Structures are given as structure tokens and as C-alpha cells.
Structure 1
Amino acid sequence: MRSLLFTSSKASSPSHSSAQSPARSSVSTPSHHVTLSASIQEEDLLYAEQVIKRWDLDSPFYTKLDYLFTGDRREARQFVKSVRNLQSAMHLFVSESASSEKIIHAQKLMQVAMKRLEKEFYKILSANRDVLDSESVSNRSSRARSSVSDEDNEEEDRVSVSGTTVSDGERVTVSEMVMADLKSIAECMISSGYGKECVKIYKILRKSIVDETMYNLGVEKYTFSQINKMDWEVIEPKIKTWLHAVKVAVKSLFYGERILCDYVFESSQRIRESCFSEICKERAVTLFEFPELVAKSKKSIERMFRSLDMYNAISDQWTDIEMLFSFDSTTIVRTQTIASYVKLGDSVRAMLTDFEAAMQKEALKTPMHGGGIHPLTRYVMNYLVFLSDYTDALSEILADWPLHEHSPLPESYFSGTDESSSISARFAWLVLVLLCKIDAGAQLYKDVAQSYLFLVNNLNYVVSKVATSNLLLLIGEDWVATHNQKVKQYAGNYERMAWGKVTSSLPANPTVDNLSIEAARDCFRRFNLEFNEACRRQSTWVISDHKLRDEIKISLSGKISPAYQRLYERYRGSFVGVDSVVRFAPEDLGNYLSDLFHGAGAPGSGNTSSHSSSSSGSFSRSR
């Protein structure tokens, strides 16, 4: 203001005015304004020269440890303002055809200033990586736009970037100030025609951070040949790494870089796009190419779930991916992401086809020892339970892939569910195929009672898995109720076939039927024989579900113990040498029954026999 007032009073002094003749007063006004403007610009140039030369990197008085934006912040604002004034002066010199000496001098000053700002820009970017991390940038960029005051506000005296808060009233955090400084320098250099130097520094430093972060996340570039040669035990950990990396990359790394680019280079759409594209595009393509390589590699049904995990990860992140890589120069990222998404869907369909085919070809050739749960039943139901957790993804993948006409479901099989649902129909069909396999497996047993126990164990396992998973939503509660009733029916058949001779050996009511001593002796001997034989024959049989096991034991005890108790109490004193005829006390029966159905060494207890496990060789363990 002092320089302006001084120049104005000098130009309008009486002595100066009296030198003008009245006849030329009409043309003196423009000349007066030109002189005034030039005088102001010259003084601004002089002031700019003083400020800029104080920070000349080539000056012998410059201390290399000094930085504009880490000391007195007023000095940094004065420097940026001086550059702007210098730029205005240069425009005036050109428009007024000023002497070449002035223009050359101003250009040299501008080069000094730009060299200084270039160093400051590099210093801020390299020294503040910790406060320019993606989370800090994404959380604070919006506040930085509103909290950072105009740089021309001389009253705001910000302090060094060494503390945790750096502005009056602690309104602006370190990351906000750093971002504001970068933006101020970038705008100054771009408007002065030195944007190329600024952008080059930005791209190099920020790209190195993205590369380092992606490396730390475990993201590597592979070829199809490399992936196709890898065993599943090698690929699966890499998929787990990718699933974590894609979340961090999209939600934090790429998101933070996009915000930082948009903020620092807000003045130029072209520069924003160029910077973000060069910094992130290559790594993003590598990241989103990996699922396609996995999907195109050799397929096996154990890869189903990880493929669906990757499919869901892309689906969940797609909105953000589309927004972040919306530039024309980053179209390749969106294209690659879509290609992986489509290939994963195709791969899932192929693996589901293989799974169905393997189920239908599988034949239960050997009876399950002990009548326990067959490995095929366990594997298929656990596989379907896992699949049911991906209902939304499978609904999209199978939307245009209905069941074949040659595999219709029985009428009313979908009672209480949405029959039109393609995904429900496919799950119901797979369960039905398994039930048919279980029915066929029951025919392998020579002992009819054991065949019913096999049906009880396996059908109960299927129903329990449906009732306690998302399969219930797909297949329906009515289905569960109907097949629970079948389990009870099979259990009743088992009891009659396995224990019918034991119950029939006891008189209906020994207290009413006056049995002779000889008839009573025959009852005891017959009961001893049949009960011993039933327990011996079923000593390795198994009921895997503890609740079902207890229910069957209670049912058997209710059919055997009361009748024997009455016989025992009525005739146990009628025999000499009673132990030779009456071998069991009533409480002994419960002990013998309680020891049954655990199947010591039987497959239903958790260990499968070699011949049973090998009968489902088409399937491997699910995850």
C-alpha cells in the first residue's frame, strides 16, 4: 500500500500537472495511467527480486537446510505472491514492448523462483509420506478445501509442519497443510509455465509410493502360463492375498491417490488425469488381471469358493472402481476388471457343471461300515452349504442358465418356496440327486435293519444341514418338515427290524399272564439270547447325531425295559441258581443300550474305513 500511495502522489503532484499544456490534456490521461502502472510493476519487480534472491539455490548466502514451507509461513506466502507479481510484470513488459534487458532479467528471476519451488515441492512430497498416506488424504481433503485460508491473508501466521496441528485454533492438521502447500506450489508453477517440471516430480514420487504399497500387499504380475502350472496349494494363498489387497487398493490406495491428484492439480483437468493415470493405471491393471488368469487356468471343483470370493470382491468394489478410473486414459482398467468378472462367472458355471456331473456319476459301491454317514453325503452337503452363502452371486451367474429339461423336479418338491427361482431349483436338484444316491447305498446292506440305520443317519444329516444354513431359504421349511418325518419313519423301521425279536421274547404282561415256571424260564433264556445277539450285532453300528442317538435309545428303552422289569420282579425268586437264567438286572439293560451306537472304530464316529472313503474318489475335501 505504501508503494502504491507513494507512486500515486508523485505522479499527481502540482509540478507534474503544470507541465502539461491544456491542449494536450485529453491525451495525457492514458499516458499517465501507463506510467503509473509501469511504476507499480517496477517496484513490484524490485520487491519480488529481493524476496526471490533470498531463496536462490545458487546464492552463496543460501543455507541448504532452509526450506520456505517449514519455517515462518509468512515468508512462504510472500514468496508465492512475489512470483505472481513477477509474472504480472512480465506480461506488462511484453505488452508494452519493454526493453529486452527487463524481460531477460525477469525471466532469470522466474527461473530462480521455479527452481526454488521445484525443490520445495520435492521436499514436501518426499518428507511427508506419512501424512500423505491414503487414509489421511481421504479423510482430510474435504476439510482442507474449506479450512485452509487464502494465501494472501497476511494475518494468519502458521507454524512449522513439525507438530501435530499447524494452524490458528488447531483447525488444520498436518496433512491438510501439506496438501494446501502442494496445491499452492503446483498452481504457481503451472500458471508460470513450469507445470511440466512440477508434474514430473509428482509422478515419480507418488508412483514409487503406489509401487511400494502394492508390493507390500503382495500384488505380483503373473502370466497365464505361470498360473496354469501352479498347484492349488500354491494358488489359494495368492488368492487370499489378492482378496485383501483389492480392498486396500480400491478403498484406500487408489482412492487416496485420486483425491490427492484432484486436489493438488485442481486447476487443470488434463494434468489431473495424466498424473492419476500414470501413477495408478499399470498397477491397477496388474491387480485386476489376476482373477482372469485364475479363471482361465485349469479348473477343479475345490476352486469354486475362491472364485466366488473374487467374483464378489469385484462386484462389491465395482462402483468405486468405475468412479476412480473414470478417465479415458484409464479405460483399460475398467475393461480388465469387467473381463475378470465375466471370466470368473464362466468359470463358476463350468465348475458347477463338473460338480453336478461328478455327483451323478458317483456310485456307492461298498456299504458304509456301521451304517454311518457316507463321505459323499458329508462332502456334498458341506459343499452345498458353502455354496448357499454365495446366493446373490450365484443368482447372477445362473440367471440365464436354467436346469436341463431332462432333469425335472418332482411335483410339490418346492412347497413353500419360489419355484421360479433358478438358483433354488438348482440347489433342490442337487439335494435330490444326493438323496437318490443315499437310497441306492441303502440297498447294499444285507442286514435290513442296518440299511434303515444308514438311511436314518444320512437323511438326518442332510436335513440338519439344510435346516441350519442358507439352504433353508432356498429349499424351504416344508421340505425340512417332510423329510424330518421320513427320518422318524426310517428310525421306526430300524427299531422294528433290529429289536423286534427282543421285544417279542417278552410277555405282554407277566403280572397278568400266570406263566408257569418253565415258561418263565424260557422267556428269560430267549430274552438273554436275543438281547445278547442284538447288542453283539450292533456293537459297531453308529448313530452320528447325538440328539437322534438319545431319542432312539429312549425309544428302545421304553419298549424293552418296562416289560422286562415286570418279568424280572415277578419271577426272579422262582429259580434256584438264578444267575444262570436271569442274567440281566433291569438297570443293566440301560447300561448296555447306552454303550451302543457310538461305533467304536466305525466311520460314523469320525474315522472312515478305507473302502468307504475310496468310493467317493471323484470328490476332494472342501475348504
Structure 2
Amino acid sequence: MAEAMLAAGYETECEQVFLVARRNALDAAAQALGYERASIDDVVRMPWEALESEVATWIKAFRHVVSAALPGERDLAARVFASSDADLGRAIFADLAHCALLQLLNFTEAVAMTKRAAEKLFKVLDMYEAVRDAAPLVDAWFNVDPSSDSSESDDLKSELASVQARLGESAAAIFCDLESSIRADVGKQPVPGGAVHPLTRYLMNYLKVACEYKHTLEQVFREHHRPADDDEADTAAGDPFAAQLMEVMELLHGNLEAKSRLYKDQSLSNIFMMNNGRYMLQKIRGSAEINAVVGEAWSRKRSTDLRQYHKNYQRETWGRVLNLLRDDGVITVKGHVQKQVLKERFKQFNAAMDEIQRTQGAWVVSDEQLQSELRVSIAAVIVPAYRSFLGRFSQQFSAGRQTEKYIKLSGEDLEAIIEELFDGNAVSMPRRRT
């Protein structure tokens, strides 16, 4: 049919009919994969939940068209127009590919125009990768060496580069917006029990996924991130994506320190910082990608911070308790036990333990290793001191009601109380075991 039309002088009509037929075939192939064309207005107004699914479908359709459908169309055009000028089939295919890609790339333009939001980053990066990876395939359609020039592929690659730039700019801007979201999170209510803050969970999981796109984000930030004049020299020699991620991490740490000051109890403030610091470290060390970006120096610094929070907590809560178990020259004077002072010490100790059990039993340490470390360190300090105190002074009370009144806890009771701390369940102090 093509040969007959060309021989009769209907070259233009032949080209038009062929292009319409093959565009329809390409549309049908995309529709078979679930992709339906939508206007820019429709895309911009679409809720993200629906658009997210559309993006996934678009990526599948785009990759199929670029890697399979259009190479097939190139071969078909070469066969159909084999008897005519060799350049005709090549030119017709170039027009077909240009039309097909423009239709698909309009969708990415529309997505880039939607309102920026953190949850869109990874789909934008998926689209960026799909468009980026299409360039060498375009060269292959025309059997072009990537280092050479080809007018047939240049226009298509120019379109792809333009769309890739728009997507890259959008991705870089979305990631940089994390700074604003952290600064805006200034809640006035502390998290109950000193637990891991929702912002910490969200950001660390977000950054973990972001680092799975590490190489793509490095490319995006090299091409589209514009550092401020005062830090341009610092980032130029390094990796601007890593610098931006570290800025987010530092902002999060500062935000958590501010939130820790919402707690009236300094011990709980330290528990909060321990919980969040441990969570951040666990996420970093559990992901090779984010660990590679953050680096060991940062992790070591945060580990040092955690140890300091632990020491601060131990001093704030248990230092005062430990002082009650010391004979500081007031209980024993010139070899004689001051029984009234001793009674007061036991009363103060019992009250302190009851308060700790009621309050710190409701505090939350969800990381089992951290919970165990805290309990072991507490028990290692308090239990031997209490047993020694009991061994030295318990005989000062007569057996029966007087002993029960002042010595409410055995060493085993104290160990049991410590083992129930940080479970999120406040209970009252048990009666002494007999």
C-alpha cells in the first residue's frame, strides 16, 4: 500500500495515514498498561493518593514505550518504507517518536506544576530516573554514538533534558523544604512518657528511603541545588546532597533538644533525648545507604551524646536516692546509731522509690537494648548500696511491726521495681516480700 501511494505521488497522505495509525497503536499499548492521558488541569487538581498511582502507571508505560514499543515502530517504519528513500522511513519514525514522547512528557510537566509536598519526592525521583535513562535509548533508535551529533535525536534529547531539569528542580526543592517543615514543628505539648517523637520517626524513615536514591539525589543536587554565597565554597568541593541531608539531621537534633525542654522533670527530658537519639542511630546503622552519607564521625558524636544523657539521667534520679543510703556522719555519731535519723532515712528512701515507680513506670523506652542498659546500670548502682545499707542497719529495728513500718523493700523487691521501669505502666510500690 505504501509503495502504491508513494508511486502515485501521495507521499504526504501516506505519511499522515501511517503516523495516525501508529500513534493509535502506541496509545493502545499505553492504555493496555493502565495509562490514560489526562490534561494538565486534571493532573494539578488530582488528590495525591490518586496521582501517586497515576505516576506509577505512567512510569511503567513510559519505560515500555521507550524500550520496546518505539524500537518496534522504528523497525516497522524501516520495513514499510524500505523501497523508497531510506531517509523517509527514518524521518517518519522521528516524527512518530517525537509526538509519542511529547504526549507522555506532558504528564511529567503537569506533575512538576503541582504543589510541592514531602511525600511526592520519591515518585518525582522515579520519573526523573525514567526520563534520564531514556536518553541513551533515543541514541540507539537512530544508531547514534552518544558522543556524536544527530539532528534526529537531538530534538528528542532536548525535550527529555528539559523535562529532566524540571523534575530535578522539583526534587531538590522538595528535599530542601524539609528544613522548613522541621522549623515549623514547634509543638508545645511534650510526647507522653518521653517516647520517640513522631517527627523523629517520620524524618528518619524519610531520610532512609531518600538515601536509597543516593546517586540520583547526588546528581539532582549537583545540577540544580544553588548554595548560598557564604557556603558555596564549602559545598562546591563536596557533595551538596550530603551537606543538605546533614543540615536536616542537625536541625532535627536541635528541634528535639528544644522539645526536651518542655518536660518539667529533667530526668524525663534525658530519657526523651535518649529515646530519640537511639532511634536515629538505629536507623542510620540499619541502612548502609544512609550510614554512608552520614558517616561514622556523626554517629560517634551522637553516641557520645547518648552516654551523656544516660549519665545525666542517672545523676538526676538515682544520685539523690544513693545519697539516702550513705552514712554521711549523721546516722552514726561517735559509734552510736541515731535511730530517729535512721527512721527518717528509710521513710525518705521508701517515698523516693514509690515516687520513682509511679512516675518512671509510666515512662516509655521502646528500644529493648536501651531499656535493658538503663535497668542494668540502675541496678548495678542502687541494689548493692541498698543491700549494704540493710545489712548494716536493719537490726536496729525490732522484729515485727517496726521493721514492716520502715523496711518496706527487700533487695529482691528493689530489683523487681527496677525491672518494671520504662514499660509505660505506672504502679504503686509493692509490700515487702516475706
Q: Could you say which TM-score interval applies, normalised by the shorter chain?
A: 0.7 to 0.9
Matched, 1:299 2:116: yes
Equivalent runs, 1:38-77 vs 2, <5 Å: none
Task: Tell me by how many angstroms 1:241 deviates.
Answer: 1.0
RMSD value over aligned CA atoms? Answer: 3.6
- Out of 291, 294, 303, the position equivalent to 1:472 is 291
Partners of 2:176 and 2:244 within 8 A in 1? no
Equivalent runs, 1:323-334 vs 2, <5 Å: 323-324=140-141, 333-334=156-157
Find the counterpart in structure 1 of residue 39 from structure 2. 223
Find the counterpart in structure 2 of residue 343 from structure 1. 166
Partners of 1:456 and 1:491 within 8 A in 2? yes
Matched, 1:488 2:304: no
- Distance of aligned partners of 1:515 and 1:299 in 2 relative to their CA distance in 1, 3 Å threshold: farther
Task: Tell me by how many angstroms 1:274 deviates.
Answer: 4.8
Matched, 1:211 2:27: yes
- Distance of aligned partners of 1:549 and 1:257 in 2 relative to their CA distance in 1, 3 Å threshold: same
Structure 2 unaligned runs (5+)?
A: 145-149, 427-434
Counterpart of 2:140 in structure 1: which amino acid?
M
Matched position secondary structure for 1:367: coil
Find the counterpart in structure 2 of residue 537 from structure 1. 359
Counterpart of 1:455 in structure 2: which amino acid?
M
Task: Tell me by how many angstroms 1:257 deviates.
Answer: 2.7
Partners of 1:219 and 1:287 within 8 A in 2? no
Matched, 1:499 2:318: yes
Partners of 1:418 and 1:424 within 8 A in 2? no
TM-score (norm 2): 0.81
- Distance of aligned partners of 1:203 and 1:226 in 2 relative to their CA distance in 1, 3 Å threshold: closer
Find the counterpart in structure 1 of residue 272 from structure 2. 454
Aligned length: 406
Task: Tell me by how many angstroms 1:556 deviates.
Answer: 0.5
Find the counterpart in structure 1 of residue 147 from structure 2. none
- Distance of aligned partners of 1:542 and 1:408 in 2 relative to their CA distance in 1, 3 Å threshold: farther
Instruction: Give a deviation string over 1:173-201, Cα, whole Å, max 9, x none.
Output: xxxxxxxxxxxxx8xx5899589799898
Q: Distance in 2 between matches of 1:542 and 1:193?
A: 85
Which stretch of the first structure deviates more once superposed, 269-278 or 430-439? 269-278
- Distance of aligned partners of 1:575 and 1:264 in 2 relative to their CA distance in 1, 3 Å threshold: farther
Task: Tell me by how many angstroms 1:485 deviates.
Answer: 1.0
TM-score (norm 1): 0.58
- Distance of aligned partners of 1:403 and 1:368 in 2 relative to their CA distance in 1, 3 Å threshold: farther
Q: Distance in 1 between matches of 2:415 and 2:237?
A: 48
Find the counterpart in structure 2 of residue 558 from structure 1. 380
Matched, 1:248 2:64: yes
Instruction: Give a deviation string over 1:454-485, Cα, whole Å, max 9, x none.
Output: 22222222333333332322231011112101
- Distance of aligned partners of 1:588 and 1:214 in 2 relative to their CA distance in 1, 3 Å threshold: same
Structure 1 unaligned runs (5+)?
A: 1-117, 119-185, 602-623
Equivalent runs, 1:114-513 vs 2, <5 Å: 193=7, 206-262=22-78, 265-266=81-82, 268-277=85-94, 280-324=97-141, 333-399=156-222, 401-405=225-229, 420-469=238-287, 470-507=289-326
Percent of aligned positions that are identical: 28
Structure scoring higher RCO (CA < 8 A, sep ≥ 6) equals 2
Instruction: Give a deviation string over 1:378-420, Cα, whole Å, max 9, x none.
Output: 22323322222222222222226354356799xxxx9xx9972
Q: Distance in 1 between matches of 2:389 and 2:336?
A: 10
- Distance of aligned partners of 1:203 and 1:316 in 2 relative to their CA distance in 1, 3 Å threshold: closer
Task: Tell me by how many angstroms 1:329 deviates.
Answer: 6.3
Which stretch of the first structure deviates more once superposed, 429-438 or 560-569? 560-569
Q: Distance in 2 between matches of 1:423 and 1:283?
A: 34
Partners of 1:495 and 1:556 within 8 A in 2? yes
Task: Tell me by how many angstroms 1:255 deviates.
Answer: 2.5
- Distance of aligned partners of 1:446 and 1:316 in 2 relative to their CA distance in 1, 3 Å threshold: same
